[in-house]
Structures are given as structure tokens and as C-alpha cells.
Amino acid sequence: MVNFSLKGKVALVTGGVYGIGFAIAEALHEAGAKIVYNCSTEKSMQTGIENYKKAGIDAKGYMCDVTKEDQVKEMLADIEKNFGGVDILVNNAGIIKRIPMEEMSVEDFRKVVDVDLIAPFIMAKAVIPGMIKKGHGKIINICSMMSELGRETVSAYAAAKGGLKMLTKNICSEYGEHNIQCNGIGPGYIATPQTAPLREIQPDGSRHPFDQFIISKTPAGRWGTPEDLKGPAVFLASEASDFVNGHILYVDGGILAYIGKQPK
Ligand code: NAP
Ligand code: GCO
């Protein structure tokens, strides 16, 4: 029997208060994991508390900015003390700034790289020693289409997510011998607060041009939803994927395979 169960495991989902992170936390809970999560603002924490309550999930939330190593160490010490450490880490917390590169400040570029690449390094570095002691561990980095492709205005995000793909492969290379599997999930275009600006209904009531563009570029002919990521997350968090390592699993409705709708 293939083992997809996460019973007895502790899963930490960074930014796991709404959007993709919350959906992944729900799925890992349904598979039996104890959920702990964090975010960096009170507003998101309140949303998270409400979401977990509504879902009937007894999860522990931490206010922790993943770019701050001292806050990360404090959060992990509490998780160690109260829950026995982290078995599954989902590096989900992320930001994006959509600014033409020549207009983007170095500070803005650095902020995106801090959250989307350096923070996953900080988080993984912090949980790996405990995983080595346990004799197992799962790290799932939430990558992106932009781990493979570029587009206008997202230079910092693409650079960070491209780096996150290679960090994933390097953690696999360095820690596979300790029975730690580090893989990525590369969501396509998913309907969450992060992509809301790309789906805004136009003043004339029409769909946002980018919305129409993504629909035409996606063989599935639709935006993804956070629900679409649940199964892949449980697979990569469970023993069913113990021989899968350093892989980026794209959950994109086929975008990466498709050159785009041909002219009629
Ligand atoms: P979202 O709706 O913007 O949520 C991002 C979460 O990360 C929030 O909970 C946010 O809470 C948290 N966060 C941001 N900075 C943080 C920090 N410094 N410390 C701790 N938490 C922080 O994003 P999403 O659309 O669900 O995306 C989640 C992940 O999937 C991101 O890594 C994103 O790049 C990636 N992704 C998204 C899509 C998509 O189409 N939506 C596609 C591919 C990949 P606070 O603001 O309170 O910190
Ligand atoms: C954008 C979008 C994308 C998605 C996602 C695609 O502005 O292009 O926000 O970057 O968030 O990363 O996989």
C-alpha cells in the first residue's frame, strides 16, 4: 500500500494563512499532519486564525518574518519544545513586485530576493539539523513558472524563483544521504490575492488583458486554484515520494508544455 499518510508528522507552512499556503496546510492536515504556520503581519495572522477555525483545524500560528534569522530560530525553538520539531517544511511565503526593471530600485529588487530566495535558505538551514537527527525530512519549495520563464516587470521575482529552483536541487544533493527529500512545486497562474491585480475586471466590464492572455496560454483554459496544489503537496510531503528528490513538480495546467494557441 503506497503511504500518503502524514500521521505523526509536524508540517510547518510559511505564509500558510491564506492562498496557496493555507490550501497546502489544509491538505497536509487532511493527510494527518499537525500544522504550524507563520506570517509577518497581524492582519494576515487574524485571517489565518479565522481560516483555520472555519476549517476546524487545530493549528499553531507564529508571527515570524522569514527573512529574520533570529525570529526563525525563536519560532523553531518553540516548535521543537511543543511539537518535537519539523518533519515537513513548506517554503511558501513569498512576495512579488511588478515593476519594469529600469524603474525598479535596488532596494525593491533586494526585498523580493530576501523573501523569495534568502528566506527559504534561512528556513531550510534552520530545520535540516533536526531532520538529520530524526533520520528523515521533507522540504517543499514553492517555485513558479518564473523558475523557468521570464516576463516583463518581474525581474526580481524570476531571479529569486530561478534561484529557488537551484537551491532545491542543491539541498537534494547535499542532504539526500540523510533521507531528506527537497523538491519544488511550480504552480502555474493561481487565483490568489497575489495575482488579483492580473484578474481585475476592466472598467468596461471586460476581463483583464493578462487574464485573457493566461487563459490562452494554458491548455486547461483556466486559472489554477489553490485546491489544485493539494494533491501534489501531499505526495511530496509523504513517504510515497521518498525516492523523488531535487525535482520541480509543475502544477500549471500545461502552460510550460504549450507554445500557445495557434492562429485559426
Ligand atoms: P499571497 O496570497 O501573496 O500570500 C503570501 C503569504 O506569504 C502571505 O501569508 C504573507 O503574509 C506571507 N509572507 C510574505 N512575506 C513574508 C515574510 N517576510 N515572512 C513571513 N510570511 C510572509 O501568495 P500566494 O499567491 O498564496 O503565493 C504563495 C507562494 O506561491 C509564493 O511563494 C508565490 O510566489 C508562489 N506562487 C504563487 C503563484 C500564484 O499564481 N498565486 C504561482 C506560482 C507561485 P504576511 O504578508 O502577513 O507576511
Ligand atoms: C506574474 C504572476 C506570476 C505568478 C506565478 C506564476 O506577475 O507573472 O504573479 O509570477 O505569481 O509565479 O507561476
Residues lining ligand 2, judged by CB closer than 6 Å?
A: 96, 98, 144-146, 151, 154, 157, 187-189, 194-195, 198
If one counts every other C-beta atom within 10 angstroms of the C-beta of residue 129, the result is 13
Gap from CA of 94 to ligand 1 centroid (Å): 4
Residue 77: predicted pLDDT: 98
- The ligand that comes nearest to the alpha carbon of residue 72 is 1
Gap from CA of 69 to ligand 2 centroid (Å): 26
d(CA 61, CA 235): 24
Mind listing the pLDDT tens digit for each residue in 84-115? 999 999 999 999 999 999 999 999 999 999 99
Residue 177: predicted pLDDT: 98
Residue 178: predicted pLDDT: 98
Gap from CA of 163 to ligand 1 centroid (Å): 17
Judged against a pLDDT cut of 90, whether residue 185 lies above it is answered with yes
Residue 30: predicted pLDDT: 98
Q: What percent of the chain has pLDDT over 70?
A: 100
Residues lining ligand 1, judged by CB closer than 6 Å?
A: 14-15, 17-21, 38-41, 44, 65-67, 92-95, 115, 142, 144, 187, 189-190, 192-195
If one counts every other C-beta atom within 10 angstroms of the C-beta of residue 188, the result is 22
Gap from CA of 158 to ligand 2 centroid (Å): 9
Residues 53, 59, 63: CA angle, nearest 5 degrees: 100
Residue 262: predicted pLDDT: 85
Residue 143: predicted pLDDT: 98
Judged against a pLDDT cut of 90, whether residue 171 lies above it is answered with yes
Hey, is 45 helix, strand or coil?
helix
Annotated catalytic residues are: 157
CA 205 to chain centre: 32
| Confidence category of residue 264, pLDDT binned at 50, 70, 90 | confident
CA-closest residue to ligand 2 atom 3: 189
CA-closest residue to ligand 2 atom 12: 144
CA-closest residue to ligand 1 atom 33: 94
Mind listing the pLDDT tens digit for each residue in 2-51? 899 999 999 999 999 999 999 999 999 999 999 999 999 999 999 999 99
d(CA 168, CA 181): 9
Residue 2: predicted pLDDT: 86
- What global pTM score does this model have? 0.98
The whole-number average pLDDT for the span 123-129 is 98
For residue 94, give the nearest of 29, 33, 17, 200 by alpha carbon. Answer: 17
The whole-number average pLDDT for the span 235-261 is 97
Which atom of ligand 2 is the closest one to the Cα of 189? 6
The whole-number average pLDDT for the span 220-236 is 97
